[in-house]
């Protein structure tokens, strides 16, 4: 079982809006000792949304879906979820009650006047696939919905993020901090990834519960002088019982290859404008 997120909306793909959901779900999962397994962006294309959901419903993954659950012509997610499951949309009684409550809350006279076409149209936001469960929205009460392991919410961060947290804390609390995880890394200068690859393969073979990662950079002066040179962020992550020994083995291997190493704490302690080895 992996955790994934599907972010729906033409405005994301066109650049009219910048996605903020991906970093937020990573943050929420990290706080709970969980990890994001995958992410997908999909435009407002009903066929593509349906095909994507049909594929993810066939998996055992936990999936968060943001965007497209409103009642305007460019909102297709509710309909596509029903099509992917081959079930009809129905007005869910609990959703209807919440929407009526919201209409009354925003009405000048404090009541839901359902003779108004606008109010009747708003009930469409409570039409979910048969078998769906209401997903509470603490911001304005207009609910999302959950069906199987999929959780559908609006694209607005102010609504979606509390709903994500609620799902993680209410539905998946038993998965919090289930897998112990540790990570250590250092900046490596003067070596190419191709030179480091055999060492990385050896360490993964020797320490079965550990993965070795390398993040090369051509240099990023905006992060500080230490990062201005070409370097590799090299490290190990995984079973806390193995990470320490694996990291020491990795550092010894880098030293044997003639690489130049700066540990994170050392980088923070270097005076402004200082580069490794005085360069």
Provide the domain count of the chain: 2
CATH number at residue 147: 3.40.980.10
Domain shared by 145 and 44, yes or no: yes
Domain ends where: 159, 175, 191?
175
How many Å apart are CA 184 and CA 38, to the nearest integer? 23
Place of tokens 């950079």: 217
Domain shared by 33 and 147, yes or no: yes
Domain ends where: 175, 197, 232?
175
Please write the tens of the pLDDT for every residue from 2-19: 999 999 999 999 999 999
Residue 140: give the domain boundaries.
3-175
Please write the tens of the pLDDT for every residue from 134-146: 999 999 999 999 9
CATH number at residue 234: 3.30.70
Domain shared by 24 and 144, yes or no: yes
Domain shared by 148 and 186, yes or no: no
Domain ends where: 127, 150, 175?
175
Domain shared by 215 and 264, yes or no: yes
Please write the tens of the pLDDT for every residue from 166-189: 999 999 999 999 878 889 999 999
Domain shared by 30 and 155, yes or no: yes
State percent of the chain over pLDDT 90.
86
Domain shared by 100 and 235, yes or no: no
Please write the tens of the pLDDT for every residue from 7-54: 999 999 999 999 999 999 999 999 999 999 999 999 999 999 999 999
Q: What is the pLDDT of residue 266?
A: 57
| For range 116-142, the mean pLDDT | 96
């Amino acid at each position: 079982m992996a955790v994934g997120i599907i972010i729906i909306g033409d405005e994301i793909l066109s650049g009219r809006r910048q996605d903020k959901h991906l970093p937020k779900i990573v943050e929420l999962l990290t706080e709970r000792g969980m990890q994001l397994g995958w992410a997908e962006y999909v435009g407002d294309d009903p066929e593509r949304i349906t095909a994507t959901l049909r594929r993810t419903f066939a998996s055992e993954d936990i999936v968060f879906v943001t965007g497209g659950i409103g009642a305007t012509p460019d909102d297709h997610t509710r309909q596509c979820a029903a099509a992917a499951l081959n079930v009809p949309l129905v007005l869910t009684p609990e959703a209807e009650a919440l929407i009526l409550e919201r209409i009354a809350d925003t009405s000048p006279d404090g009541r839901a006047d359902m003779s108004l076409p606008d109010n009747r149209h708003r009930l469409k936001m409570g039409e979910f696939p048969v078998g769906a469960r209401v997903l509470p929205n603490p911001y304005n009460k207009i609910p999302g919905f959950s069906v199987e392991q999929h959780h559908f919410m609006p694209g607005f961060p102010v609504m979606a993020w509390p709903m994500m947290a609620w799902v993680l804390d209410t539905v998946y609390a038993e998965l919090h901090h289930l897998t112990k995880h540790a990570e250590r890394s250092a900046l490596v200068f003067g070596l190419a990834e191709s030179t480091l690859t055999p060492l990385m393969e050896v360490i993964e073979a020797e320490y079965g519960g550990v993965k070795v990662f390398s993040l090369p950079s051509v240099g990023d002066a905006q992060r500080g002088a230490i990062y201005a040179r070409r370097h590799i962020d090299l490290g190990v992550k995984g079973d806390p019982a193995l990470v320490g020994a694996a990291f020491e083995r990795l550092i010894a291997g880098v030293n044997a290859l003639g690489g130049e190493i700066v540990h994170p704490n050392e980088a923070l302690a270097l005076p402004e404008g200082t580069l490794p080895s005085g360069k």
